Amino acid sequence: MGTMMNKLIVLLAFCSGLAHAEFKDGNELFQLLTSRDTLDRVDALGYVTGVADALRGTIHCISANATAGQISDMTLAYLRRNPENRHLPADVIIAVVLKNTWPCKKGGQSL
């Protein structure tokens, strides 16, 4: 997972930076996900869900049974395990988590 994941992160970060200005980085998302404030956690859940929806069928092919809470938990776990990547755009981090968990099959996408 190491080298391939690092290449994917760099590629996604580069492409993401060219496409738009980031709304959140991993540090901010981590703070929101771990906040005691319910509104912060709701903000984070909405952001994670929006990114997941936007990338569905292109970066990942998520299981129909997956929940927003599950994706949020997986993103938080990634941020805890990889603090060196928290400076990256939050959408890139979420994309890496989703692609590694639910990659699309070659030759076809499931929506």
17 within a domain of the structure (yes/no): yes
Q: Could you list the residue range(s) of the whole structural domain that residue 21 is in?
A: 2-101
Q: Is 96 helix (H, G, I), strand (E, B) or coil?
A: helix
Counting the structural domains of the chain, the total is 1
Q: What is the CATH number of the domain that holds 32?
A: 1.10.890.40
- In DSSP terms, 60 is beta-bridged to 56
Q: How far apart are CA 61 and CA 41, in angstroms?
A: 25
Q: How far apart are CA 24 and CA 91, in angstroms?
A: 8
Cα 97 from chain centre:
5
71 within a domain of the structure (yes/no): yes
83 within a domain of the structure (yes/no): yes
33 within a domain of the structure (yes/no): yes
pTM of this prediction? Answer: 0.77
Q: At a CB cut-off of 8 Å and minimum separation 6, what does 1 contact?
A: 100
Give 25's DSSP letter: B
The more confidently predicted of residues 108 and 98 is: 98
Q: How far apart are CA 35 and CA 17, in angstroms?
A: 27
**What's the one-letter identity of residue 66?**
A
pLDDT digits (tens, 9 = 90+) for 29-82: 999 999 999 999 999 999 999 999 999 999 999 988 999 999 999 999 999 999
110 within a domain of the structure (yes/no): no
